[in-house]
Amino acid sequence: MNKIGPLAVIAVLFVLAPLLGFWLPLGPSAAPNFDDYAAGDARKAAFFEYMVPLVEQENAAILSSRERLLAIHENGSPGWAERRWLLQLAERYELEAFDPSESTDRAQLIKRLDVVPPSIALAQAANESAWGTSRFARLGNNYFGQWCFVAGCGLVPEARNTGASHEVAAFKSVRESVRRYMNNINTHPAYADLRSRRASLRNEGNDISGLALAPTLIRYSERGQEYVNELQAMIRGNDLQQYD
């Protein structure tokens, strides 16, 4: 009797994971201590070597689910199992009163279920985590400055305004931080313009690039346009377009 080897099992699980609604903990786990690298080119190289696979794996999982969603949408008549999967996906992407049999509802889900250009994810990770050296990155695996609002959910900012209750979220892994960041971009009302611009680029047959979408992140930071300008400069200065 033939036995399936461990590598074959891993390969099958990698293909099935996004279809079944979960992700595998693939890729690097604990981040290196980026303080061990000299500031500048050495630290940047180590940072991108670590972060690029995480970003690419999350985008690959999103695209796998997107392909299944598009196939169901084009077929137009989702079966019981497909409707159940669509409802789970709609919950994850925070679409309320979602009806899987409605074409317009599925179209809204398609708009949310799409990649975040790696150049933007990498630039924001570097910017928000000080190239992986910030307290929130080191102690909470938070590379994107994500907040949470339940006491004990993360780390309390040292310079938090009087009366403020937010904390900077803590994650079990850097990959979870990447996943939650992408979900935030794909669901939060503040980034509706990004999702609309991304959909327009797809419909027009254009590349989904970080430089094209960066202006839609003006609400990501209190610094507004200055933050956007900084992201665009980081994308250009570090040749991050190559990852898009």
Structural domains of the chain in order of their starting residue, each with its CATH number = 35-243 (1.10.530.10)
For 94-138, the pLDDT digits (tens) are 999 999 999 999 999 999 999 999 999 999 999 999 999 999 899
Pair 20, 65: CB distance under 8 Å:
no
- Rounding to the nearest 10 degrees, give the CA dihedral for residues 54, 55, 61, 65: 160
Query: pTM for the complete prediction?
Result: 0.84
Residue 34, pLDDT > 80, answer yes
Pair 89, 109: CB distance under 8 Å:
yes
- Cα–Cα dist 106/85, whole Å: 12
Structure tokens at 221: 């930071």
- Nearest C-alpha neighbor of 113 from the set 14, 181, 187: 187
Residue 6, pLDDT > 50, answer no
- Nearest C-alpha neighbor of 120 from the set 32, 46, 63, 191: 191
For 50-62, the pLDDT digits (tens) are 999 999 999 999 9
pLDDT of res. 77:
85
